[in-house]
Amino acid sequence: MTIPRLVLTLGALALATACRKETADAFGNFEATEVTVAAEASGRVLRLEASEGTRLESMAEVGVVDTTALVLQRGELVARREAARAHTREVDANAAALETQRAIAERELERTRRLLTAQAATAQQGDRAERDVRVLRDQLQGAQATRTTIGREVAAIDAQLATLDDRLRRSRIVAPASGTVLAQYVEPGEFVQIGTPLFKMASLDTLVLRAYLSGAQLAQVALGQVLTVRVDAGGDSLRTVQGRVTWISPTAEFTPTPIQTREERTVQVYAVKLAVPNVDGRLRIGMPAEVTLASSNPASK
């Protein structure tokens, strides 16, 4: 390449770079809300389908922690509950029979008292009739107490079953929301404790661009405003996308380390967030971008 041509090429590059700097009002990086899914039960991971890059739907089951011991314990509790309920039915049947006998004994007592008044029965017959009534009443009270005790036992078993069902539910590993797996920390076969991180995910359908504006630039920005965002498209070219302002920091801060220069270390700026649709999936977390404050649409849209 000749010297004049080289000079022209360098001049063009310098001019293009200067134009890019002049048209960019703010700079920032893309981020997303990352969620780390942790184990909610202790045990061996039997299955985990959350490899990096996997697209997960909200509440989709992607794995399970071993629940063999819990299932066996639940079966034992169910058997105990059924036995208690069977005992309750026996007590109820016995109480019904006792109630019938009590009614007959009370009628017999009334007849005996009338006979005693007419001096047609002995005192021994009267004592025996009163004793039969008292015994049956005591037996009925005992049956009712037994039924109450069994009812409490059944309620306690139901509470234990509810606890076990909750633990079984927590043994299922589910995606809390729709998104893409960014990292998997555990492999099937590993033993985990409650709280052990299993995988990290984030929704990449719309990324958030956090950019920084000076105080003078804030007057040009409003919530809901649509701004032009440019990202690298390879070489020296830029690709244009649109972002809607969703948040403006109420307080100033010093220029963040990732984008500051030596001269900007004491400059205070305001952070803003723009929601940028990631339609083609080419936007990435951490990717730099620049913002032009000229709106592409009115803020009211």
The pLDDT tens digits along the chain (301 residues) read 433 333 333 333 333 343 444 478 999 999 999 999 999 999 999 999 999 999 999 999 999 999 999 999 999 999 999 999 999 999 999 999 999 999 999 999 899 988 888 888 888 988 998 999 999 999 999 999 999 999 999 999 999 999 999 999 999 999 999 999 999 999 999 999 999 999 999 999 999 999 999 888 988 999 999 999 999 988 888 999 999 999 999 998 876 655 555 555 557 889 999 999 999 999 999 999 999 986 544 443 3
Is residue 242 within a helix (H) or strand (E), and if so which, with residue range?
Answer: strand 238-248
Query: How confident is the model over 266-301, as pLDDT tens digits?
Result: 578 899 999 999 999 999 999 999 999 865 444 433
Give the span between the Cα atoms of 65 and 57, in whole angstroms. Answer: 20
User: Which amino acid, 76?
Assistant: E
Q: Shortest CA distance to 25 belongs to which of 239, 272, 285, 237?
A: 272
Give the span between the Cα atoms of 130 and 124, in whole angstroms. Answer: 10
Q: In what order do the strands lie in the sheet with 61-65?
A: 172-174, 61-65, 43-48, 191-192
pTM of the complete model: 0.71
Give the span between the Cα atoms of 252 and 65, in whole angstroms. Answer: 47
Tokens of 274: 């723009």
